[in-house]
A and B are shown apart, each in its own frame.
Chain A
Amino acid sequence: MANITKKVSWSSRPDESGSAGDATPLLNGSEQPRYSRQNSAGGNMFHIGRLSTVDLEEEITSEEDSLRGRPKEIPHNEKLLSLKFESLDYDNIENQLFLEEERRMSPMNFRCLEISRWVVCGLIGFLTGLIACSIDIIVEKLAGYKYQAVKENIEKFTEGGGLSVSLILWAVLNSSFVMVGSITVAFFEPIAAGSGIPQIKCYLNGVKIPRVVRLKTLMVKVFGVICSVVGGLAVGKEGPMIHSGAVVAAGVSQGRSTSLKRDFKMFEYFRRDTEKRDFVSAGAAAGVSAAFGAPVGGVLFSLEEGASFWNQMLTWRIFFASMISTFTLNFVLSVYHKTPGQLSSPGLINFGRFDSDTMAYDLYEVPLFIIMGAIGGVLGALFNILNYWLTIFRIRYVHRPCLQVMEAMLVAAVTATVSFTMIYFSNDCQPLDTDQTEEYPLQFFCADGEYNSMATAFFNTPERSVRSLFHNQAGTYNPLTLGLFTLTYFLLACWTYGLAVSAGVFIPSLLIGAAWGRLFGIMLATITPNNPVWADPGKYALIGAAAQLGGIVRMTLSLTVIMMEATGNVTYGFPIMLVLMTAKIVGDYFVEGLYDIHIKLQSVPFLHWEAPATSHWLTAREVMSSPVTCLNRIEKVGTIVDILSNTSTNHNGFPVVVQITGSDEPEKLCGLILRSQLIVLLKHKVFMELARSRLTRRKLQLKDFRDAYPRFPPIQSIHVSQDERECMMDLTEFMNPTPYTVPQDTSLPRVFKLFRALGLRHLVVVDDENGVVGLVTRKDLARYHMGKHGLEELQLAQT
């Protein structure tokens, strides 16, 4: 591609001119061939440490020109692992600094820490709730203005002629809102696209997705979701809430913002991946709980998606955050609705109360529910397959930001057009109700005092449409309307998910499901004309919604509870559970869940619960990367700088070895040190010679490492003079002296279990004499998966 221009851009970066000058000759020096074709262990973690500060696009380029030979190029597909992603350091580094700090801390300090954890969780809940209700209120207002304007326009033109003008007005309004949202997403923060649930899932799994929990992402996400919902796309605002909650958590727990360059000097102890992860799961829970008014569902969502690192106290704290979030939302909404202090108004999506008298179900309906679950599974699988092909097409061909914005605008315009046409040609007129749920009833060609029933489904925010499908009395919609609506909305929602706008898939799925569920209920009532009472269409709409959502996202436990809490009806727990189970079983037969598909398509090294079956014959020797770049315990600064600046082997963890002087024994493993630590050491110039000359020098503390977290500067920005290159560095104090190791013959599932359960980032493979033979990282494990023809191996690629 554009190798040359990119090379120029790399070397012309002003901030690294000094160090690059130092490093460049070394790159091309005598040692170079040794590294030239070695990617691995660290090749896996190619971008580590620099990703945060260097623009991604340029990053790729720098690697491109550093690669020798001609790497094979293939079109993007789902069987790849990207080098872009690295692991999070969930394992505590128990080096001497850590032990010292722990010694210094009094029991009082630990108690304070515990309290501040609770405070942070409360803050997370509070802020997430605030964000949720501001989104809610802004969307309601803006959508109100939009629909009012279009409605007035339509009324004006219905009789006099010129409805095509209304159509164009609607389309233009929609696409201009979507354009604004899409521009912010595509040009400023592409990671904010979509619902964010796959990204959070990956984060909780232990994958560091660049820029996923930044303040900027949060802003773009919130702004984007408002634009896309107001723009009338077939999307919901619930998925993004989960992401927003997670970002809030990651931000609040750090007590500072790197984007704003403000440090509040708070919560410094939490500036570690381990602590941050706990808060992020609390944030995700708070997001779910604000979105659906389902605090327990939120906790279970976090549990279902990130359950590998849990304990009882953490669960309790997360539950606290969820509750605070729901009730903040309730309180603010109660003030907004002018009934301050009334805490019973539910979450963002309000399914309305299901009256247990009219909506009772009987034993003989259970098989019907199961059938609906199966239908939901099939339709969900169809949705996922269609979306899978569409996403592949998008990744391959629609990857330029301006194209993405255009695509989003087109989708918005077509959504408006299709809706308008459907409403225009619909003959389904219903009398206006006194307790009408229709906010913007459109009359069109209906008699006065009646409204177009297709318009209640299309000419409304999706949440309201879901509610009216659940709660309007039997006979509000005729079957033809529902059938057409299901079909068009299915296609629109499928087309919309994956656009460069921030928007979730929860509400569209619920809406599709509610539509065909209601249709199902109406059909049942017509089949059994003598006893139409039991087939209340609202009940079947609810079951259909659950089935469709379950068929698409394949969540089970948390979704059951979310649906139960959002409807405020425990008695539906059993049918909803049955339906979700059936939908998952049927859907899994065809294809994976939507989120898993998107994780795969983004080439994320995601570790599932278990190692793939039939993989016991693989041993660590085959899995690991080898040979490993090791460091000596007392290493020359020049060597370290060279290793770190080698762009082709962007290793992130380095086993530290020691050789007993004077003996012929091979080197033995004595610790593990991370790139981020080395960079901090280099930055502070912790060299043995300097330490001797300057006795008063302050000792490096754990705090210095925390201050640099999470955006460690790239090695190029650190200036090391020629003299300093000759100095020596003692890593003993800083390395992790007890890294996890496995013998070479350990089976893959064993390695996998260790990795997954402990949240490891590097696992050293050693021989009988404790010598390093290889290193297992996340990508080495994630590349095995069960395919159609047994065990398959994913390929590593640059993305």
Chain B
Amino acid sequence: MSLYKNCLILLAINIFSPVSGDGVNGTAPDTTDKRTQSPSLSPPVVAAAELNSANIKPDLDSLFPLSLLSSFPEDPEVSDYCSELLHIFGQRYVACVSCLVPAARPVKVCQNCYSSYGSLANIYRNISGTLGPANVSCKDNLLRSDRLMLVNLLYINLEDVWSKSNCKQCITKEFQSLTNDTLYFMAMLNQTRTCFEKYPQGNHSEQCKNCNSSYKGLNELYSRMEKNQSLCIDIEDAQNLIQKIQWTNFNCTVAREETVPIIAVSSFMLFLPIIFYLSSFLHSEQKKRKLIHPKRAKSYSSLTNIQDKLN
């Protein structure tokens, strides 16, 4: 186990300093082992670094880790099949990330990247699935042979992104396409957008008046989808943007028109208790209590008023 641990840690290190292929040979001296401890403390960072480098020089670096691995074919545990899977995983991961990053603002994560994420999820399922051809399982080998569990970690990151973005609600099962609801919403959204664009920045009142119907329709659709829980981040973000345009750029506020009737009604309401208390004070007879004189021993008479005595 420790051997593979070392292997993978060094793998990460070697992205930065691809110097000695020998060091990986399994005969790594103890000193290297200690040296590697400090950078390996933050595996996500390393992973990210790896990703970046892979992104920048895809043709060279994406194959690099695999060539490292294949450099010791005598390793009995990483089968060809598994390394093939790993290779595909790497490629798809890169594709997925390179799709996600440009879709960050404005958020188009679900619309743009569902297919690349779908294929990534697919390959991960293959890796984590129990059986491959000839009864080879790559699960133990690739996913949990070491402390870092890099493949797992990488995948969990993206899975996290996916679940946070709630994309599941907008994509059909098996990552085929966007759902009809989503497509319809996008169409409505575009309609509203084009309406907004028709009017120049200065012409507020007209924009508010003319685009109101499509904006309203969009709002209603949104709240309906909210109720069905079929919202994903793309829709939420688009809706937020539109709302922002409507309310801040064009300043379409609802005026507070009914101040007078509200004040009238509420002061009437507030007036009622005053009448109630006054009338009950004046008309209701006051409840009186009858005092009872308890029977006491004779000597008590001298002490009837303790207060007087004390004062």
Contacts and interface: CB of A to CB of B under 8 A. Distances in A.
A161 B246 contact: no
Given A75-B288, A410-B272, A792-B307, A448 B280 contact: no
A621 B288 contact: no
Interface in A616-632: 618, 621-622, 624-627
Contacts of B293: 37, 39, 71, 796
* Most chain A beta carbons < 10 A, residue from B219, B258, B263: B258
B247 to A, nearest CB: 4
B290 A64 contact: yes
Interface in A55-104: 64, 67, 71-76, 80, 83
Interface stretch (A328-336, A399-407, A524-532): A399-407
A773 B307 contact: no
A413 B290 contact: no
B83 to A, nearest CB: 41
B19 interface: no
Nearest to B281: A397
B157 interface: no
B239 interface: yes
Given A39-B294, A448-B243, A397 B284 contact: yes
B290 A797 contact: yes
Interface stretch (B9-17, B141-149, B296-304): B296-304
Main secondary structure of the interface of B (DSSP, over half): helix
Interface in A368-420: 393, 395-400, 403, 406-407, 410-411, 413-414, 417-418, 420
A163 B290 contact: no
Interface string A591-624: 0000000000000000000000000001001101
Given A74-B291, A162-B258, A773 B239 contact: no
A500 interface: no
A799 B289 contact: yes
Interface string B251-263: 0011011100111
B310 interface: yes
Given A407-B276, A445-B253, A790-B307, A168 B265 contact: yes
Contacts of B264: 164
A424 interface: yes
B248 interface: yes
Contact of A161 (B258, B269, B290, B291): B258
Nearest to A765: B297
A709 to B, nearest CB: 28
Interface in B118-138: none
Contact of A625 (B240, B295, B303): B295
B246 A403 contact: no
Contacts of B292: 39, 43, 71, 83, 795-798
A76 to B, nearest CB: 5
B294 A796 contact: yes
A626 B297 contact: yes
A786 to B, nearest CB: 11
A447 B247 contact: yes
A662 B74 CA distance: 125
Contacts of A76: 287-289
Given A167-B265, A410-B272, A421-B262, A626 B295 contact: yes
Interface in A423-448: 424, 445, 447-448
B266 interface: yes
B233 to A, nearest CB: 10
Given A171-B269, A448-B246, A39 B295 contact: yes
Nearest to B291: A72
Interface string A32-46: 000001111101100
A789 interface: yes
B287 A625 contact: no
Nearest to A793: B306
B299 A622 contact: yes
Nearest to A72: B291
Nearest to A74: B289
B1 interface: no
Contacts of B269: 171, 413-414, 417
Nearest to A407: B276
Nearest to B302: A622
B106 to A, nearest CB: 15
A699 B23 CA distance: 104
A159 B289 contact: no
Interface in A692-724: none
A158 interface: yes
B104 interface: no
B273 interface: yes
A159 B299 contact: no
B290 A72 contact: yes
A29 interface: no
A410 B291 contact: no
Nearest to B216: A159
Contacts of A397: 280-281, 284, 286-287
Contacts of A398: 280, 284
Contacts of A773: 297
Nearest to A399: B287
Interface string A771-790: 00110000010001000011
B311 interface: yes
B261 A627 contact: no
A421 B291 contact: no
Nearest to B265: A164
A14 interface: no
A617 B273 CA distance: 50
B270 interface: yes
A787 B239 CA distance: 67
Given A167-B265, A413-B272, A414-B272, A43 B288 contact: no
Nearest to A792: B307
A791 interface: yes
Given A40-B294, A168-B265, A417-B266, A403 B273 contact: no
B273 A411 contact: yes
A407 B280 CA distance: 10
Contact of B289 (A75, A407, A784, A791): A75
Interface string B172-210: 000000000000000000000000000000000000000
Contact of A43 (B273, B286, B294): B294
Given A167-B265, A773-B297, A798-B292, 17 more contacts: A39-B295, A40-B294, A64-B290, A71-B290, A71-B293, A73-B288, A75-B286, A162-B258, A410-B276, A414-B272, A421-B262, A421-B266, A626-B297, A790-B307, A790-B311, A793-B307, A797-B291
Interface of B: 219, 239-240, 243-244, 246-248, 253-254, 256-258, 261-266, 269-270, 272-273, 276-277, 280-281, 284, 286-297, 299-300, 303, 306-307, 310-311
17 contacts: A44-B294, A161-B258, A167-B265, A393-B281, A397-B286, A398-B280, A403-B284, A414-B273, A420-B262, A447-B243, A447-B246, A449-B240, A622-B296, A626-B296, A774-B297, A789-B311, A790-B306
Those 9 A-B pairs whose CB atoms lie nearest each other, nearest first? A447-B247, A797-B289, A73-B288, A417-B269, A626-B297, A40-B295, A71-B290, A164-B261, A448-B243
